[in-house]
Structure formats: structure tokens, C-alpha cells
Amino acid sequence: MITVPPLRWQALRLVKQGNAAADYEDAAAADAARGRFAIADGASEASFAALWARLLVTRFVAEHCRPWRHLDWVAPLREHWAGAVDGLSLPWYAEDKRALGAFATFLGLALGRRSGRAAGTWQALAIGDSCLFHTRGDRLLCAFPVSRSADFGNRPRLLGSRSALDRLDEPRERARGKWKPADRLLLMTDALAHWFLLRTEQGKSPLAEIRDLLAAPSPHDAFAGWTDERRRHALLRNDDVTLVVVDLDAA
Amino acid sequence: MSYTAEISRTNPTCLLFLIDQSSSMLEPFAGQKDRQKADGVADAINRLLQNLVLKCAKSEGIRDFFYVGVLGYGGRVVSALGGALASQAIVPVSTLANHPLRVEERTRRIDDGAGGILEQKFKLPVWYEPKPTGRTPMCQALNAAKKTLEVFLGRYPQCYPPLAINITDGMSTDGDPLLAAESLRGLASADGNVLLFNAHLSALPAAPVEFPDREDGLADSFARQLFRMSSVLPPRLREGARSEGFAVSDGTRGFVFNADLVSIIRFLDIGTRVAPGGRMP
């Protein structure tokens, strides 16, 4: 039987500098009891993208079937999204944008282990450049789906809310790995993931920086200050930022 | 590095369109007897403005990443926007969005992704209607653009460099526009010099040319002159062009012949592009 390992998690998020809190278009969701975590990044040039991103993450963590294996669970969300926005009376430009649909990148993670075992496996599903990093101590074991900072751009693969406009070529990628007790998994939307990979490539220790932030009396305040400073020095691209940290308990 | 400033609501940039409204625009377009160049220009500018507005449209309204102006030159140089926008040099893109002259409803057919065709209604806003008259004072228009952009740069000195986009059939009647173009391109923000791009609509039925890097092979002396007036694409715009399949080099210029410049709007970076499934009209 597959069970969910004991773990702790937390999420940190920050809106793009210059935007209001309501303009945040990333999303994060977790169901620790199911071992499920997800993040999404609503495309800034799309409309109603925050709603689409929220629908994706909340469904992934609640879905009964194994949602990392396919995208069947997305179809009802498209209906839900259309139901929420299609009846709205909008100016011409918002109508046109709505007709195109909303778009988001997505990363979903599921953790499990066989009863009685100390270690287990993780499964991940990705569309676009929302990223997962599997770490052990100070070592980066796996970066998925982007593994080099140079591979980020402003045209990631996206999951659309209108199936008619989607090419349906299922641009999803899947990965799996084995975790051990005390491993840390980090989910990051693109701006932060880019920073993380770049620092790693430069031989720095981004994991230590994140560890310090999480150890602060208020991780949210520490994260906000840390992010502001890096944006000011152009070390971190100005964008919505989302970080979910999942810690497997030590044996 | 220049041409890297973030385009944002607190640090917007400006797009200034220069539209040739001279009587030569009554001639047929690219060998098509029943289509005047003036209609080609009107289509081009309305599509450019529509794409610009859509780029900034969010669920809650328009985000003012851009200020926009349209200068017409035919006989004299005037602001070419009508209705509530008449006589304003530049307006925020939200003001533009909310004040087209009219919004027409059309239908387009799209692939439904499952082998069928869907009919989709869409709105086509019209801000600009052709009214060709008089000669072609292109130098005056470039000088007027310079004055407008000087004021904008005074207000936003750190902005992503403003873009001037000139749509013409190429025959300036008030002198050599090369000097006026050079003077316009001499303006700069802290992030780089003003960019001047040119779209040449010709009566010649020659094949369209998009973003060339040399003038040999261009159809006539007007095309070559407009090529020389055009800015070299900065790296990010060049990469945008490359990623859409245009063959570009370090010398690629913001110039098209018998083609439109709508793609330039797509290349401007305001955040995650909607590219794979969702195609902008």
C-alpha cells in the first residue's frame, strides 16, 4: 500500500513589484495529507489567468486519480473557467482576450512510499517553466523541467483554458525520483527558479540562502525584504514569485 | 546593457505612429487595382493599435504600459486620431482602448483542435480612417515626432526607448528624410536611443520583405532610403523576431516592404507571452 510520508511544508509568495496584491497571478496549493503540491504561473499577457492558475493547482492536489500521469483532469476546469468568465459583460478588448483564453505554466508534485519503508518516490508533472528542485543537504539532485538558467525565456510552454485554441499536443513533461528522509523539495515559479539555477551554476549556495530565510522569525517578511533587494540589483527578474518548500521528516 | 529597461506602468514607454496621408496614397497597393495604399495603411495602423491594446488588456482593464500617438502627414502634419482623442499628441493606451471611432463586429473561422472549424465573433475597433490629401512632408513629420518624444523623455528619462513607427509609400516631398530620421534617432533615454522603424507600402507588385539586414535587393530607391532611416533591431527584439522564424542577423533593421509591422508589438516584452496555443489576432 502507498502511504504519505510525514512531512512539513510552507509557501512564500510575493507579487511583482509595482503591482497591487490583487494582481498576483501565480498560485500554489498543497494537501499534505495526500502528499500533493502544485504551483502555477498565470501568463501576464492573458486575461483571467489568476483564476486559471488557481483552478489548476487546487484540482491537482485534490484529484482522486493520479493527475501526474495525464491531463484528463484539466477538461472540467476549462468548463469551470468558461462558466466563470463567459457571461461577463466586457469591453471589446477584454472580450477578445477572453476569447483567446487564459494560459499558465504548471508544476505538480506527488510524494508517496510503500508501507513500512523509510524512503519513497516522487512523481512530477510540468508544463512550461515552473520548476521542481530535489535537494539533499547542500546537494541539488534533480532540477525539473528546466535544468539550465539559460533555458528560461518569455515564451514558455503553457496550458490553455480554451481547449479549442490549445494545440492539444500535450506539451507536458513528467519526471520521477526517489526521496529519503530529511530531503527537501522546492517548487518555484520561473523568476525564482532562474535565480536558483544561475546561483548554482555560479558555484554559490542558493539553498543556504533559502535555509536562512526560512529560519528567520518571520519568513514572509524576510522573503519580501530579500526579494526586494535582489530585484533592485537586477539579480532577480521582477515578476510574481512563489516558493513552496517541502521537507520530508528525518527518519 | 541598453534596451533592457522594464516596461511597466510606473516606467512606461511610448509608441508614436507616423502615417503618410498624402494623395499618392490613392494609388493602388502592390499591384491590386481595387485596393488603395491608403486602405492598406488604415488596416495596418488599426491592427497595430488593436494588438497594442490587447497586449495590455487584463481581466480588470487595460494596464498603461504604453503611451500612444498617431501623427498624420498629408499636406501638413496633424494628430490623426479622431473623436475624443482628436488633437492629443499622445494618450495612455487605456484611453486609446476606450475611444475608438467605432467597433465593428466580424466573424473569423478557427480550428477547433478536433478537425472541425469554429466560427468565432470578434470586435474590430477602428481608430483611423484614410483621408489622403496633399503632398508628403515626411521631414516635418519626423521633426514633429522628435518634439513629442522629447517631452515624453523629459517625463520618463529611464524608460525603455520610445519607438517611432513610420508607415508610408516612401516619397518624401519636403527634402531628404535621412537627416530628420537621424536627428529623431539621436534622442535617448538612459536605456538607449529612440527606435525608428519603417513600413513601406508600395504600388510595385514586388514580394514582401520583412526585417532585412541589407539594402541590396530592395525594390526601389525609396525602399533603400527607408531601410537606411530604420534602426537596427536591439538584441531582445531581434531574438523575438528570430523566435518567430524571421531570418535575422546583427544588422537586421526595423523595416518592412509591402508587409506590416504588427509583429514588432509582439516582440515587446511586458511579461509572459501567450504563444503556443493562443495566437494573437
A48-76 residue pLDDT tens: 999 999 999 999 999 988 999 988 899 99
Q: For residue A117, report the phi and psi dihedrals to the nearest 5 degrees.
A: -90, 150
pLDDT digits (tens, 9 = 90+) for B46-99: 988 998 999 899 887 899 999 999 999 998 898 888 888 888 899 999 999 999
Q: How far is CA A154 from the centre of its chain?
A: 16
Q: How far is CA A119 from the centre of its chain?
A: 24
Chain B contact set for A168 (CB, 8 A): 113-114
pTM for the structure as a whole: 0.82
Residue of B126, B236, B274 for testing the chain A interface, max A β-carbons within 10 Å:
B274
Task: Give the contacts of B34 (CB within 8 A, at least 6 positions apart).
Answer: B28
Beta strands in B76-191 (DSSP E): 76-79, 91-92, 102-111, 117-126, 163-168, 188-189
Strand pairing report for B13-20 and A36-42: unpaired
CB contact under 8 A, B123 and A96: yes
Confidence at residue A46, expressed as pLDDT on a 0 to 100 scale: 86
Chain B contact set for A241 (CB, 8 A): none
C-alpha cell at B166: 513610420
Distance (Å) from the alpha carbon of B171 to chain A's nearest alpha carbon: 35
Strand pairing report for B255-257 and B209-210: antiparallel
C-alpha distances out from residue A90 to A153, B6, B92, B251, Å: 31, 29, 20, 43
Q: How far is CA B91 from the centre of its chain?
A: 16
The rounded mean pLDDT for chain A is 92
Determine whether A163 is exposed, middle or buried from the number of CB atoms within 10 Å of its CB (0-12, 13-18, 19+): middle
Flag whether pLDDT at B281 surpasses 80. Answer: no
C-alpha distances out from residue B221 to A39, B216, B225, Å: 55, 10, 6
Confidence at residue B113, expressed as pLDDT on a 0 to 100 scale: 64
CB contact under 8 A, A18 and B57: no
Amino acid letter, residue B73:
Y
Task: Taking the CA atoms of A236, B59, B70 and B266 in sequence, report the sign of the dihedral they define.
Answer: positive
- Rounded distance between C-alpha atoms, residue A218 and residue A212, angstroms: 11
Is some CB atom of chain A closer than 8 A to the CB atom of B276? yes
Rounded to a whole number, what is the largest CA-CA distance in chain B? Answer: 57
- Rounded distance between C-alpha atoms, residue A84 and residue A95, angstroms: 14
Average pLDDT value for residue range A221-228: 97
Average pLDDT value for residue range B214-227: 93
- Rounded distance between C-alpha atoms, residue B264 and residue A79, angstroms: 34
pLDDT digits (tens, 9 = 90+) for A70-123: 888 999 999 999 999 999 998 888 888 898 899 999 999 999 999 888 899 999
- Rounded distance between C-alpha atoms, residue A132 and residue A146, angstroms: 9
CB contact under 8 A, A165 and B243: no
Determine the residue of chain A that is closest to B11 in CA distance. Answer: A18
Confidence at residue A170, expressed as pLDDT on a 0 to 100 scale: 54
Confidence at residue B84, expressed as pLDDT on a 0 to 100 scale: 86
CB contact under 8 A, B103 and A92: yes
Flag whether pLDDT at B261 surpasses 80. Answer: no
Q: Contact at 8 Å (CB) between B189 and B14?
A: no
CB contact under 8 A, A153 and B62: no
Confidence at residue B118, expressed as pLDDT on a 0 to 100 scale: 78
A205, A204, A200, A187: which is closest to A148 by C-alpha? A200
CB contact under 8 A, A100 and B8: no
Residue in B112, B120, B270 nearest the CB of A44:
B270
The ipTM is 0.77
CB contact under 8 A, B61 and A162: no
Confidence at residue B272, expressed as pLDDT on a 0 to 100 scale: 61
- Rounded distance between C-alpha atoms, residue B81 and residue B72, angstroms: 9
